[in-house]
Structure 1
């Protein structure tokens, strides 16, 4: 099953799409897909309601899709988590996870426009598997404990302004990561037990031309390791997002031009779906 949110910004309502492609209204179960619902075993609640036939069908055709989770408490981001991407960035693969942040208000829907900031020169795309935390994670004993704290997975475009990130950052990447609309998320939240997070193809295209094409099998630090590691230095709250890193094939490599107004970026991950954004000036 896939969980989505439809409607205009700030007015989205939750919907579940079953394996046959039929959409069902979730507002009889919850007002939204937020941390509190996920922590209260919301995924299992949806499954039971589906199995018992208690959910009304709903037509979502033509409706805007929002991010599949309401604004998170935090967006945790892992840098250079694919060896080939580290190499194209001019860096050695990290020996510990590299952490930076995006502000929660960067999160927008999977088909919303991305706004190029004023003064930007090097706006870049990054397809990433995004982890959605479902249960509070604090000082987990080992990576083996991570799975029960993960609600599911979705797709993130970790949009980056490289000049802000690297040339005028003072050493802090987040300056190039936090412009408005810089984290399209979705289209769907897929329950964790329905995907093999360690073996998913992920890809991106710009104006129809291939850019990235890789697999999460190439992650340096696995999803479970990342959740465990982060729980040692912070408390992960239900509804939090972890962007797990991007593979090679971004503009930073100097093999492709940076994004310009009018460009169209498409990204996808097998088993989750795809997203699409048009670039325009802020």
Structure 2
């Protein structure tokens, strides 16, 4: 680990150590190549050994959690799909809790966005996997998935209709990402929770009230952990609710401007192991 004095010079720290660390993955804990550095692995292990719980809180689905599944200690739980699922990584991504987007709400979102953003295309993320429309950008991590118009994907007779919808994804090839988010919230905010984590105009839609923050709050309440006992890390708009809920929050140096403006402190970039830098400092507090 780095010298403690160097950590204090580079990144500010709260007055007291936390009981729980909540960290986003992409653009935050992970390097750009989706790896976890040896320094970060050591920091996570040291936190758990010191009695500080670590929660991975991500927009990723459970099936994409292999990047960190070997680095989960203790309880083994992670919050996935922007709060729509709590999964047990010790049990191969077993779903502990699901907070679904109802079919009716998803259809209402599709209808509203078609009206205000012609050219929008959709994908449907269920507990069983993802399906998407023919014009939607394909996922290289999910080859061979079902492709069909979104009306069919959300139909009562769809192949996986019995599996809950975790989130709806809406992509637009031409709109500015932040402008698309604001447009969608105005047009369809009554039907779902809208956010984004991609540099492109790709929106993620969960059920009303479902976010990283609301699910993390539920998990913390079960453990008797108050918001002021949580330190959170993130870089994109889908982290904002979590970062403002936590007592102490850090924006990565590479964070979206809205995240930087909303957080308590800033740390180094994901490439420079900004999360590990803070954890190393936190473990020196008493």
* TM-score, length of structure 1 as denominator length: 0.26
The structure with the larger Rg is: 2
The structure with the largest helix share of the pair is 2
